[in-house]
Chain A
Amino acid sequence: MEQAPAPTVQRLPSWGRQVSFFQRHQPAFWLFIVLLIFTSLAVLNEQLLYLDVFPAGWMFSIFLLTLYVVPVALAIYFLDLFEREPLSLLIAAFVWGGVIAIGLSGPTNGAVIEILSKLGGVRLAQEWGAALAAPPVEELFKFLGMIVIFLIARYEIDGIFDGFIYGAMVGLGFAAVENVQYFVGAIASSGGGDQIGPVLQMFFLRAIVVGAYMHVLWSGIAGIGLGYYATRHDQPHSKRLLVMLGLFALAVVAHFIWNSPLLAGLVGEGLPGQILFGLIKGSPFFIFLGLMVLLAQRREHHWFKVATEGHVEDDVLTPQELAELGGLRSRWRARRQAGQRKGPQGAKLMGRLQREQINLAMIRTRTHSDEHPDILAQRELIRGVRAELQALPDVAAPAGGAMPAAFQAPPPPAAHAWTPTHQVPATGMAAWDVPDPSRPPVVTLAAGLPLRVFEQAGAWSRVVASNGWQGWVDGRLLVPLS
């Protein structure tokens, strides 16, 4: 007899539990606040000094960094395909990197370089100080920030990918404020007073040419380690710890290689030299992180499939939609296609349909049952959105010629002219997207819902609701309004 495969228990993440940064009962929240107060004074003082000495250069630096930070932050945010992290926590991670980690790292780096100078000589400190001091110090303070975020809202890091998201945001904050230091340093070094030319050059170098290889990359690697430790409870504790510490060490090594004078003489000056510098010293780690992110994304997609598997192949989530939700581009393509078929409102409704389908998975991870009332309500919501989408008239004739006039939908009634002519009977009633009884109804309308009939086809009535939704119903059941 063939033995049935042993059932596997699918452990799902806690996507349905969302918390903000403001967790006053968590001691880590107060540690964050105290450190923020302590370090923000020094960071603010430094920025005010820059503003005082090089006002135009400093303001231009901030402008350029906005151009860098906003797209990178959005990219990090949108890489998270399913459970997007709460904005307050992402901002907190950014602030930790840009204020707390920077504020703690500056004096510590200085002290460590001095210690190197005393123990190994000035030459060692000059040549290797940046490589030996900054990587362990800065990576440690950034990594501790990720741990603090985890302690504040530990249910929010519910996958390896989330570790990457928070790590990358901490790194982005650090890079932003550190870049201001470099930009202002470039102005001072240029010898031409307060000017924006050196800022532009340094921006091109640090944000465009080698921006992908630095703090976001290093902290992202360390964040994946934390994500692994925090969520892979199916693995032995020693292994989780080893992976976390190993990836943290890898981040330190990547930073060390970047800062070290090694290979500095091999690459030439100018743009080609800088590009080569980035490729040699940064791209191996960048590729590694890319692979890790890809695997983590696949894992999240798998969870999404598991969470929604009881709802596929019906009118809640089709297999095609499930596949489309697995990637940003496929989502956008589906919205674009809906827009081409149904106009801008169609694209908007397709976006909403996708959001509600993802929300179904969020709720499912919280309720642990496909029959929970919240799940059933969400399914109804999805059906309603789908009905709205399907009820929208097509905006273009199919390829091959104009649609015969007899089959063209009449122009929808203007919204401002909507006045109800009928209402749904007390028992409620089914509605269809097309007048075809062989197809399943798309939605059940609530009793008493006011409707306006604007087309008749035999016993079928085409109705429109006050919110613009349209559909076909059995006109004989409608209750006329006097």
Chain B
Amino acid sequence: MLGTHARSLLARFDPAGVRPTIIVAGIILAVFFGAQLVNAVLPAPRGVGPGPQPQPGGAVDIGPLRISLASGWQAIDGPIGPRLVRGNVAVDFQLNSFQGDATELYNTFVREALAPFASGFGATQPALIQVGPGIPGARGGYTGVFGTGADAIGQVEGQLTAFVIDGTGVVIDAWGSSGTLRPMLDDIELMISTIEVR
């Protein structure tokens, strides 16, 4: 029945166009999904140490925060704290005691933790957002060339999200080389917006 219906549908089409269209559609599907599939099955780069242990449901606990990992993301121990990675995009979490609001934390981090270590550095004024269960936060973007010599990372684009809970300042620094961060921003912002405080 279904086959008959499909055949009658196909009969409406120009027969000369069916085969090449199927081939074009096949190439598009193969390249688009093939790249995602290969990326998903390839293991993460070696040399990455064990990070925060994933919880059932693909969540990780970082301090008082529980973060639900988006598809393709891994939690590892980064050089300055817990880090989520996907490809060469990293999301670093830094938790320190802080007296002030989210905007002050954002500006302090930009001024003291980023700008001194970069050339050609620039950061946007923070926009006010809400993180997880209604926590007021500040978010902005930055760019700059980080590192020198053998430690050079090169041109980096980043997005900072800062918020304060119970005297603890949380800075979430998502960064990657130019052009690599933007495709990941939807994932990153989703993970931040669904953060739970334990």
Contacts and interface: CB of A to CB of B under 8 A. Distances in A.
A465 B140 CA distance: 72
B154 A126 contact: yes
A185 B28 CA distance: 28
A117 interface: yes
B161 to A, nearest CB: 14
Contact of A28 (B17, B36, B127): B17
A179 interface: no
Given A28-B17, A151-B20, A118 B87 contact: yes
B135 interface: no
A400 interface: no
Interface of B: 12-14, 17-18, 20-22, 24-25, 27-28, 31-32, 35-36, 38-39, 42-45, 86-88, 121-125, 127, 141-143, 153-154, 157, 177-180, 182-184, 186
Nearest to B25: A31
Contacts of A188: 124, 141, 143, 157
Given A115-B35, A191-B142, A129 B180 contact: yes
A107 B40 CA distance: 13
Nearest to B127: A53
A125 interface: yes
Given A111-B39, A118-B43, A27 B125 contact: no
A125 B88 contact: yes
Contact of A193 (B43, B125, B179, B180): B125
Contact of A141 (B28, B38, B44, B153): B28
B125 A144 contact: no
B43 A147 contact: no
A119 B42 contact: yes
The main secondary structure of chain B at its interface with chain A is: mixed
A127 B155 CA distance: 10
A108 B124 contact: no
A419 interface: no
Contacts of B121: 191
Interface string A336-363: 0000000000000000000000000000
Interface string A94-124: 0000000000101111111111011101100
A187 B157 CA distance: 12
Contact of A117 (B87, B123, B184): B87
Contacts of B21: 26-28, 31, 148, 151
Contacts of A25: 12-14
B122 A190 contact: yes
A189 B143 contact: yes
Contacts of B157: 185, 188-189
Interface residues of A, number: 45
A109 B88 CA distance: 13
Contact of B24 (A119, A121, A151, A193): A151
Contact of A144 (B18, B24, B124): B24
A130 B122 CA distance: 22
Contacts of B17: 26-28, 151
A441 B198 CA distance: 97
B43 to A, nearest CB: 7
Which of B12, B13, B18, B35 gathers the greatest number of chain A CB atoms within 10 Å? B35
Contacts of B125: 191-193
Interface string A16-43: 0000000001111001000100000000
Given A31-B25, A115-B38, A126-B153, A189 B88 contact: no
Looking at A117, A121, A140, the one whose CB has the most chain B CB atoms below 10 A away is A117
A186 to B, nearest CB: 9
Nearest to B126: A193
A229 B35 CA distance: 28
B183 A106 contact: yes
A107 B37 CA distance: 12
B182 A181 contact: yes
A181 B182 CA distance: 9
Interface string A123-143: 001110110000001001100
Nearest to B43: A118
A316 to B, nearest CB: 37
Interface string A212-250: 000000000000000000000000000000000000000
Most B CB within 10 A of own CB, among A112, A187, A188: A188
A108 to B, nearest CB: 5
A256 B77 CA distance: 35
Contact of A191 (B13, B35, B122): B122
A127 B25 CA distance: 32
Contacts of A106: 183
Given A27-B17, A188-B157, A189-B143, 9 more contacts: A27-B18, A31-B25, A104-B28, A108-B31, A113-B87, A118-B45, A181-B182, A188-B143, A191-B142
A191 B182 contact: no
A122 B88 contact: yes
A144 B183 contact: no
Contacts of B143: 188-189
A277 to B, nearest CB: 16
Contacts of A192: 122, 124-125
Contacts of A28: 17, 20-21, 24
B163 to A, nearest CB: 18
Contact of A31 (B24, B32, B39, B86): B24
A113 B180 contact: yes
Contacts of B122: 189-192
A121 B43 CA distance: 12
A117 B25 contact: no
Nearest to B36: A111
